[in-house]
Chains A and B, each alone.
Chain A
Amino acid sequence: GAVVSQHPSWVICKSGTSVKIECRSLDFQATTMFWYRQFPKQSLMLMATSNEGSKATYEQGVEKDKFLINHASLTLSTLTVTSAHPEDSSFYICSASGGTNGASTDTQYFGPGTRLTVL
Chain B
Amino acid sequence: GEDVEQSLFLSVREGDSSVINCTYTDSSSTYLYWYKQEPGAGLQLLTYIFSNMDMKQDQRLTVLLNKKDKHLSLRIADTQTGDSAIYFCAESGTGRRALTFGSGTRLQVQP
- Chain A residues within CB distance 8 Å of chain B: 6, 32, 34, 42-46, 49, 93, 95, 97, 99, 102-113, 115
CB closest residue in chain B, given A99:
B97
Chain A-chain B contacts (Cβ-Cβ < 8 Å), number: 59
**A110 B42 Cβ-Cβ under 8 A:** yes
Output the least CB separation between B101 and chain A (Å).
4
**A113 B103 Cβ-Cβ under 8 A:** no
Report how many residues on chain B are interfacial, defined by Cβ distance under 8 Å: 24
> Which residues in chain B, 37-81, are within 8 Å of chain A measured between CB atoms?
40-45, 48
Which listed residue, A32, A45, A104, A107, touches B93 by the CB 8 Å rule? A104
> B82 contacts the other chain (Cβ, under 8 Å)?
no
> B99 contacts the other chain (Cβ, under 8 Å)?
yes
Q: Mark B74-111, 1 if CB is under 8 A from A, else 0.
A: 00000000000000100011111111111110000000
Which listed residue, B35, B96, B103, touches A104 by the CB 8 Å rule? B96
**A104 B41 Cβ-Cβ under 8 A:** no
**B41 A109 Cβ-Cβ under 8 A:** no
CB closest residue in chain A, given B99:
A108
Q: In the bound complex, how far is the Cα of B48 from the Cα of A79, in angstroms?
A: 28
